[in-house]
Chain A
């Protein structure tokens, strides 16, 4: 399978981390970091994944590359089953899938020169050696906006933005098709952040790259992503094109998240949906809809606590997991049986979101 179909396809992905206690380390529970997540990443697109700490976005990204072994579910890359791959197949796959980490300090080996860091992938995958490898390193440095003569320097000699460029050059060195960008700009200052975002966009255009862009900064994701998945407590609660999601967020959690972003305009007096309390623990997620204890949808009722909402298509291409946001496949009869008292109704506090 080549050229058609999604590049990456994830079905019912789960990752549980055991909680152990006592001298015998008996398992007493599990943190459901990623809890039944399904999505596709199309060729050439940027899928943004947003959510707050602990929502499972980083675990999802790492599980796709099998840097974290998933508990269950299916992952395919160009139609190949990633989860059944052995060590050598997996190594070959890693040439096609790369990752850029958040922290440009801890993700670069301080004892290796920049040239050696970038060369490592070339050597492992037998892509170039000797003078050809040197030339390739110089070319990569130039491509990410660094001077070729920097290859003899060490990571500590560089600023945060420059280190992130080195991480990008390392990921690019093996000519991947897919790059998981895990919070690549959140440790950077605003002015440097814009430089790195523009660089990522240029590289995507020049190399036909596909990105999964994980971030907690909603404005950065709106800028760079074609489609956006919103995660909460290990689940995808909304998935839509960036335009649709930011213009008309359907899931009450997304609405609150967007309304909470401070706006750099003192004249934009906006209504804010203030969520009560903290995000519950993933070791003991709420029943039914995981967001129901904090939800502000006027039709919220006992059915939300009883029924797990499916991630369903509300308008073409716009998926959300909310049984109170019509249309829904969870019928009003089913909801009443589960203790529902308020029929579903469209709730779009849009004025609150876009002042």
Chain B
């Protein structure tokens, strides 16, 4: 097996807030292979975006990547790199596509200038050459009439077109890894379909790896080959995409899948995961999902579950792996009301 492109080991990114230490990312490990699309799924507060920002070392105080965390890329540890070196990696070897294209673009520069800047900073080419490359890249993202569009400002473009600009910027340097943080969440469904198609098409042409971060299991199923599910700052399940959707193991993954309505398979009543995600300053002891889990038993309260191997390329952070019979006896969850505020 070829070594992974990016290897994260025991990543802990904590925020020292007045309310306490928020352990937003708390011991996350995973690899991304070259050319692979890895899906990272989870709800608000699961730690998926903080994981992404940690990879680019974009964590601001009061946040901090704790010692003992390692993010290996190109044989170097991103966590301990100097500022100069990390700047060389950002936007060049690893780039990011953000959710909200309007706030990720500078309103006072033309989009052509903004895409060209990437080439000027990282490739050190002349103004003219950078502009030409920008136009070429914009055309590659399917922007009609790229030459004249490049002279427009972000507010003159639709949401879908702005997202194409961000994709052009992210792929300009043909990076080894693109982190796409909810790249289509702000877009309408028909535009989302266009943008996902474009991303995967360009990935084939450039051979880049993609870390696809989303809350939408549908987007994961249609783009990723492998999936990581995060909950409360931890990886709770990791599997090949087919295996995960065919047989989700962790009760959280299972709950997520059952709580979404599916077109063409309407059920009378939606399954719900009761309660809400606990506050990152006070993760529950033992299993962090146990209060919302229909199967939890005493072991879940006392023993923090490790990632159990439950199949080839399939791991799950749930004690059901060693006591599978418990799945036949669901009980009403511990939390019965709508959830207590983190007050």
Contacts and interface: CB of A to CB of B under 8 A. Distances in A.
Interface of A: 52-53, 144-147, 150, 153, 157-162, 165, 189-195, 197-198, 201, 216, 218-220, 222-223, 242, 246, 256-268, 272, 274-275, 277-279, 354
Given A261-B218, A264-B221, A265-B245, A192 B276 contact: yes
Contact of B263 (A162, A218, A279): A218
Contacts of B220: 264
A195 B274 contact: yes
A275 B218 CA distance: 19
17 contacts: A53-B159, A144-B338, A146-B337, A191-B259, A194-B271, A195-B272, A197-B261, A260-B193, A261-B263, A263-B218, A264-B262, A266-B241, A267-B246, A274-B193, A277-B144, A278-B158, A354-B264
A158 B189 CA distance: 30
Given A246-B264, A264-B260, A272 B338 contact: no
A264 B263 contact: no
B192 interface: yes
B337 A52 contact: no
Contacts of B303: none
Given A219-B263, A264-B217, A275-B194, 13 more contacts: A52-B190, A150-B341, A153-B343, A159-B342, A162-B341, A191-B43, A195-B338, A259-B193, A261-B263, A264-B245, A266-B221, A274-B193, A354-B263
B194 A274 contact: yes
B276 A161 contact: yes
Given A189-B215, A265-B221, A198 B189 contact: no
B313 interface: no
A198 B259 CA distance: 10
B192, B257, B259, B261: which has the most chain A beta carbons within 10 Å?
B261
Contacts, number: 147
B305 interface: no
A150 B340 CA distance: 10
B270 interface: yes
Nearest to B269: A198
Taking each of A53, A153, A190, A216, which has the highest tally of chain B beta carbons within 10 Å of its own beta carbon?
A190
B191 interface: yes
Nearest to A192: B276
B161 interface: yes
B83 interface: no
B207 interface: no
Interface string B145-166: 0000000000000111100000
Contacts of A218: 189, 263
B341 A157 contact: yes
A166 to B, nearest CB: 10
Contacts of A150: 341
B152 to A, nearest CB: 14
Interface string B203-221: 0000000000001111111
Given A161-B338, A189-B44, A194 B161 contact: no
B222 interface: yes
A160 B342 CA distance: 12
Interface in B302-336: none
B266 A157 contact: no
Contacts of A162: 276, 338-339, 341
Contacts of A160: 44
A58 to B, nearest CB: 14
B189 A52 contact: yes
A144 B338 CA distance: 9
Interface residues of B, number: 54
A256 to B, nearest CB: 6
A201 B269 contact: yes
B263 A222 contact: yes
A230 to B, nearest CB: 12
Nearest to A272: B193
Contacts of A262: 192-193, 196, 216, 218-219, 221-222
A242 B242 CA distance: 30
A158 B341 contact: yes
Contacts of B340: 147
Contact of B272 (A194, A220, A258): A194
Interface string B115-149: 00000000000000000000000000000100000
A223 B266 contact: yes
A244 to B, nearest CB: 13
Interface in B263-319: 263-264, 266-267, 269-274, 276-277
Contact of A193 (B259, B341, B343): B259
A159 B339 contact: yes
A246 B261 CA distance: 13
A159 B217 contact: no
A354 B266 CA distance: 13
Contact of A260 (B158, B189, B242, B262): B189
Most buried by A among B161, B218, B257: B218
Interface pairs A-B: 6 shortest CB-CB:
A262-B218, A52-B188, A194-B259, A191-B273, A223-B261, A189-B43
B341 A263 contact: no
Contact of A274 (B158, B197, B341): B197
Contact of A216 (B158, B161, B188, B271): B188
A219 B262 contact: yes
Interface in B162-188: 188
Nearest to B267: A223
Nearest to A141: B338
B239 to A, nearest CB: 11
B256 interface: yes
B35 interface: no
A107 to B, nearest CB: 18
B255 interface: yes
A267 B241 CA distance: 10
B276 A159 contact: yes
